[in-house]
Amino acid sequence: MLTYQQLKEQPRELLAATGLMVAEFEQLLPAYQTAYERRYSQQLTRAGKVRQRQPGGGSKGALDQAEDRLLFILIYLKTKPLQTMQGLQFGLSQPQANYWIHHLLPVVQAALQELGLTPERDGSQVATSPLALAGTPDLALDGTERRRQRPQAPDEQRAHYSGKKKTHTDKNIVLVNESTSKTKHDKKAADEAAISYPAQATLDKDTGFQGYEPAGVLTRQPQKSRAAKNSAWPINSSIG
């Protein structure tokens, strides 16, 4: 069974599994514990009934420690395995893994919101977002496709089918502040998002965003020539 104490001594493995370094995990942990206690009172059972014994009594569960519960949900969010595989890593059955996923997701969301680390979903608000303005507004834009369940409606099937992935996906654009993290894919999706950028920001983008030149932003895009492989992010000659 995976535990935080094990991975704490293996920072590379912790980073690969959760996307967080040890210091970042331990910064998130107190906010997570506060959010958990606020949402799930220790005086109530899982069923919402008043406890007949003191909290902590009875047999110990697989996710008895707060840090292991946080590790569990972060690994799920980072890797999105089948629930059976997620359970195997923590000594849980598939139904138990399903329970904990739904039990913990709102907690970690509340903790991130408390810390001001939830992503900005409204593109028009990016220019004033504290996450975008932290440090130097040195931004990077990329597209992602996340596999999803096949929609039932034919029009939704066509809209979500990815010829590249040969399956149904949700297409996203991800804008990240490289000094310190808006999720649709490619230039068309970026145009639809109508993102407003901080003044004099720089923006790294790949070839999927060819022609995307926001006003007042210095964009940088890799070139496909062999010479470009030896140079990092050549800067476009014009500012949009």
Annotate 3-27 with DSSP letters as a single string: -HHHHHT-HHHHHHHHS--HHHHHH
Beta bridge partners of 173: 143
pLDDT tens sequence across 168-203: 888 777 888 776 644 444 677 777 778 888 888 888
Distance from C-alpha of 164 to C-alpha of 149, rounded to nearest angstrom:
16
Kindly state the percentage of the chain with pLDDT values over 90. 32
Average pLDDT, the chain: 81
pLDDT of residue 236: 52
Distance from C-alpha of 101 to C-alpha of 179, rounded to nearest angstrom:
31
Q: Is 228 helix (H, G, I), strand (E, B) or coil?
A: helix
Backbone angles phi, psi at 219, to 5 degrees: -95, 150
Q: What is the domain partition of the chain in residue ranges?
A: 4-54+61-114, 123-230
In this prediction, residues 98-106 reach a mean pLDDT of 95
Is the model's pLDDT at 107 over the cut of 70? yes
Distance from C-alpha of 13 to C-alpha of 213, rounded to nearest angstrom:
38
pLDDT of residue 182: 43
Strand order in the sheet with 167-177: 161-162, 167-177, 138-147, 202-205, 218-220
Kindly state the percentage of the chain with pLDDT values over 70. 80
pLDDT top residue among 50 and 86? 86
Is the model's pLDDT at 237 over the cut of 80? no
Query: pTM above the 0.75 mark?
Result: no
